[in-house]
Structure 1
């Protein structure tokens, strides 16, 4: 007789598995699992097999296990997971590239019909064209104010119609019409809500940032820190070069206005005494090339003139 584990034994086994995964994996994707069936979840597990593990469970059990494991190990970073365990969510533990894992999960989406009372995740637009329905079905279109006409004994939609808007509940008339048109407007799968990476928690949109975008954002942050530090005269690392430069400018201004001088100021004073030193020096090669170029231009101009004289002479003799 096969022993059937009790609820207490299941909780102990689940707690041990979650704690083991927390110790083994430093990266976790928190995913929403609304409207995801068991078969679909099994396909996702097969697709991620190798470097990722999908773990589902009740939020209360997950929160309890995470809290106890954090206390036993002294790793308070695990507590950052607790606020994320809200709603119908699961955990994907991975050692692979986070962006690639998210893209792999997104592949396993399954089309679903518009059920009555369901909140629409996207806008639903019915395209124009022949529906294949007989004229007796026009009542569905009239109730929803969809313009139609009878063409070759079937109902034809004249213009595209926005039937359901994102965030609205699906009504019985909308659901019946979409069912008759064989339209499955929605698709469901695991959706990444947050990313946990060795104690840090961030939005999945961060995974879409390129290196160039990261550099620009980092530069903008450094610029803001530098501006703030300069404004309050606080010697932050980002502002120190600007502070040194401003100090040099101040000392240089004093040296120019007085008899005091120092090596870095001597050259500036020399330029101020003789402004001609500000002119751009011409290299010997460039200087030699200018007359040669000018001479060639003159020769080119002279050649057409000689040809015209000869032509005139020939015409005179003729």
Structure 2
């Protein structure tokens, strides 16, 4: 039997203890992360998560040894690529992913690196005096010229498209322009939580889109509650307001006089009177002097109709205010 070094046994033992004592296990790739950034990231995770680097075969051994306690934990093995490390935490997988993504910092492009998105050189003054750098910019395809004694990029230019490799010359040019298109940080490849493996594409959440979805869902529920007259804390005022406006409209159209309708009825009668007077004003002797004087002071006479849309407008205003507040609360709870 081959001899197994004691340090390897101790390493596997410690990994097993960490795996058993944390509810969420993440696999990350630390390839090409500078030591300084790594220290900053460890500091940002202090008290929240533990990052442990180890040889892939030792991690596999530890995963296999605890598989009977954590079903499906060995599903993390295929995600151990590059320079793998394990993250141990009790945060949920989505919060862990967000923390790691937020800790990433801009970095200069290196020769041979692959652009994760289009790398754009923006239009404007580069700050460089006329000289050889103008030729360097033009050699890599950047539309540059001399303008007011400075080298200026004439328009936004995509120098490297997403998925393309960055050449040494382009990398040098971008560095001189102080453009840092890359990101340095820990990439969470997958996370294990409650017997489920979550990959990075599942863990990514578009916060703006999520907020919009929450707002749309709240608005739909709000409208349903109001239209079905189902009172809740959020909709009871809109339902009462809607009922009041409909009752008032009915009273006005039926000429029922009360404290709430008297002003509207008088206004409606006055408007209808002026409309009739305007229609017959061309008939000689049809109007007395008082009506003629009144018509001359009115630019236009349009019937006043109490629309039920007012109720909908008031309802929409309350809905908008409530949806923004409740949706924000919901999103805050989601992302912690």
* TM-score clears 0.5: yes
SS of 2:19's partner is helix
Q: Deviations over 1:11-60 (max 9, x none)?
A: 22221111001111121222232321233222222222224211222222
Of 44, 54, 58, the residue aligned with 1:57 is 54
Of 140, 143, 153, the residue aligned with 2:136 is 140
Residue 89, structure 1, aligned to residue 84, structure 2: yes
Q: Which runs of 5+ in 2 are unaligned?
A: 217-246, 278-286, 291-336
Q: Do 2:144 and 2:152's aligned partners in 1 also have CA atoms closer than 8 Å?
A: yes
Note the aligned Cα RMSD (angstroms).
3.7
* Structure index of larger Rg: 1
Q: Deviations over 1:81-108 (max 9, x none)?
A: 2222233332211112433332222232
Q: For 2:193 and 2:138, how far apart are their aligned partners in 1?
A: 53
Q: Deviations over 1:100-129 (max 9, x none)?
A: 332222232233222111222222101111
Instruction: State the match for 2:25 in structure 1.
Output: 28
Instruction: State the match for 1:127 in structure 2.
Output: 122
Q: For 1:37 and 1:9, how far apart are their aligned partners in 2?
A: 30
Instruction: State the match for 1:155 in structure 2.
Output: 151
Q: For 1:161 and 1:51, how far apart are their aligned partners in 2?
A: 41
Q: For 1:133 and 1:178, how far apart are their aligned partners in 2?
A: 17
Of 85, 102, 108, the residue aligned with 1:113 is 108
- Specify whether residues 175 and 133 from structure 1 end up closer, same or farther in structure 2 by C-alpha distance, changes over 3 A only: farther
Q: Do 2:24 and 2:92's aligned partners in 1 also have CA atoms closer than 8 Å?
A: no
Q: For 1:174 and 1:191, how far apart are their aligned partners in 2?
A: 25
CA shift, 1:159, in A, is 0.8
CA shift, 1:158, in A, is 0.6
So what's the TM-score if we normalise by structure 1? 0.60
- Specify whether residues 55 and 213 from structure 1 end up closer, same or farther in structure 2 by C-alpha distance, changes over 3 A only: farther
- Specify whether residues 57 and 213 from structure 1 end up closer, same or farther in structure 2 by C-alpha distance, changes over 3 A only: farther
SS of 1:54's partner is strand
- Specify whether residues 55 and 133 from structure 1 end up closer, same or farther in structure 2 by C-alpha distance, changes over 3 A only: farther
Count of matched residue positions in the alignment of Structure 1 and Structure 2: 229
- Specify whether residues 134 and 95 from structure 1 end up closer, same or farther in structure 2 by C-alpha distance, changes over 3 A only: same
Q: Do 2:116 and 2:182's aligned partners in 1 also have CA atoms closer than 8 Å?
A: yes
Q: Do 2:76 and 2:192's aligned partners in 1 also have CA atoms closer than 8 Å?
A: yes
So what's the TM-score if we normalise by structure 2? 0.57
Of 19, 24, 33, the residue aligned with 2:16 is 19
- Specify whether residues 17 and 175 from structure 1 end up closer, same or farther in structure 2 by C-alpha distance, changes over 3 A only: same
Instruction: State the match for 1:173 in structure 2.
Output: 169
